[in-house]
Structure 1
């Protein structure tokens, strides 16, 4: 009998990482990645959809077995969770309308900045620019809609997710990549799940060695600037 894993994913569907689980077509980079991992380890994946602001707490409390949904690996999170080896490198970026220009972060002054609740992007902006005007939202979609309507001037997002939204909204662009924000996504697991972590790492290494990982990466990120 296959081992069942409850895998948390973000209900906001940060494409191209994954689409809306409740839509007719559920797909994305992480979906393909986890499918290969599950096949190799003879696992049965049950997805649990949650708002991002709740999902890490659910994992910590044991309500989920893992999260494979654009989780940034950070030192503080590593103290309370297990992480696989990284599977994607990215940067934080500032998204603006196509006719706007950003040359440096000093240009954020007097602009209304949109950030997503409980993200590393929110933490970065609050740390670096504590006195700036911020708008907080639960989903990326809300932020992009507010930017398109002119309710905010700039939004801060992870570069892979920004790339997915920019394919839908050609009137927007990445104004600049934020300095010193090179980061990695990894699969998050409950603290102490070392055996599972090691098994997943073995599969990830095998995927990279065989070319399977590169094929999945090319499928989803050929036209996205990371």
Structure 2
């Protein structure tokens, strides 16, 4: 079933960097000692977070070299409320998941689809976002249905949920894998591939800034959530979910959502975070019926 087109922000890349940034928790430096023993972390008293450099609107590196975006804002606010610090390390999607499995990170802060396959390797919070999947083509391309890509070269980021989408929903297309979305969009614009499959928020930004169009949209099969180490501290997972719910109740979540998105909040997300329904009732963020 086609999703309603949603318009927002851009791409996903992967230069592995260590950003000397910490998002400070609530009080002054004197509170750090109390936070040191709060959770079992990779670094005592500091949440080590794997993030991405170019995955708007969820995680990007801003002009000052600091992580920003919807997922980053949510994480920083939660950390502030929990009185802990966050240190970000920039990598790609596969690096986030591999780093969690290897015990290098405590959490992934990006738009990470909470798939059943990934849930066998990492733990997930309850989803904080639910979007859609888009197939992009150059503006003049004729494709308008998934079947129109039969025999065509369709690009995805390797290991992404979109790779599984192409395998399951576009089995007669020719799947081409790339390490990041920078390579993906470059190949689409140069004619190396006939289509590229990305998340809806990423697709929206490409449409605004590149000569491309959304050829096909489909509802996402899962939401985006924060992944944590499978053998990490369950208290951290519990407390993050509690803080996300608290942000919904006090209006912080809606404020941050509106900073990055213009579209109604998905019905599927309201099922996962039911408190949201009362917060957006009667507003332009409420999903339309039918």
TM-score in terms of structure 1 length: 0.90
Establish whether residue 184 from structure 1 lines up as the match of residue 197 from structure 2: no
In structure 2, do the counterparts of structure 1 residues 196 and 138 end up closer, same or farther at CA, with 3 Å as the change threshold?
Answer: same
Matched length: 223
In structure 2, do the counterparts of structure 1 residues 138 and 148 end up closer, same or farther at CA, with 3 Å as the change threshold?
Answer: same
Establish whether residue 59 from structure 1 lines up as the match of residue 100 from structure 2: yes
Establish whether residue 140 from structure 1 lines up as the match of residue 181 from structure 2: yes
**Larger relative contact order, structure 1 or 2 (CA cutoff 8 Å, min sep 6):** 1
Establish whether residue 4 from structure 1 lines up as the match of residue 46 from structure 2: yes
Partners of 1:99 and 1:224 in 2: CA distance? 29
Deviation, 1:147, is 1.1
Deviation, 1:187, is 0.6
Partners of 1:145 and 1:129 in 2: CA distance? 22
Deviation, 1:105, is 1.0
Deviation, 1:25, is 5.4
Deviations 1:131-176 (A, max 9, x none): 532221111111111111222111001111222333322x212111
8 A Cα contact 1:160 1:224, kept in partner: no
Which protein is bigger by CA-based radius of gyration? 2
- Which ranges of structure 1 fall in alignment gaps of 5 or more residues? none
Partners of 2:264 and 2:52 in 1: CA distance? 20
Give the corresponding residue for 1:74.
115
Partners of 1:53 and 1:35 in 2: CA distance? 22
Residue of structure 1 aligned with 2:86, choices 45, 51, 56: 45
My pick for the range that moved more, 19-28 or 155-164, is 19-28
8 A Cα contact 1:163 1:224, kept in partner: no
Partners of 1:32 and 1:133 in 2: CA distance? 37
Deviations 1:65-124 (A, max 9, x none): 010111110112222321111110012110112222433211111321111111111122
Partners of 1:201 and 1:224 in 2: CA distance? 22
Establish whether residue 166 from structure 1 lines up as the match of residue 216 from structure 2: no
SS at match of 2:56: coil
SS at match of 1:93: strand
8 A Cα contact 1:66 1:190, kept in partner: yes
In structure 2, do the counterparts of structure 1 residues 225 and 199 end up closer, same or farther at CA, with 3 Å as the change threshold?
Answer: closer
SS at match of 1:176: strand
In structure 2, do the counterparts of structure 1 residues 224 and 208 end up closer, same or farther at CA, with 3 Å as the change threshold?
Answer: closer
Residue of structure 2 aligned with 1:215, choices 255, 258, 267: 255
Partners of 1:25 and 1:89 in 2: CA distance? 25
Partners of 1:181 and 1:27 in 2: CA distance? 24
- After superposition, the CA RMSD in angstroms is 2.2
SS at match of 1:95: strand
Partners of 1:86 and 1:23 in 2: CA distance? 29
Deviations 1:155-201 (A, max 9, x none): 001111222333322x21211113x6332010111124321111001
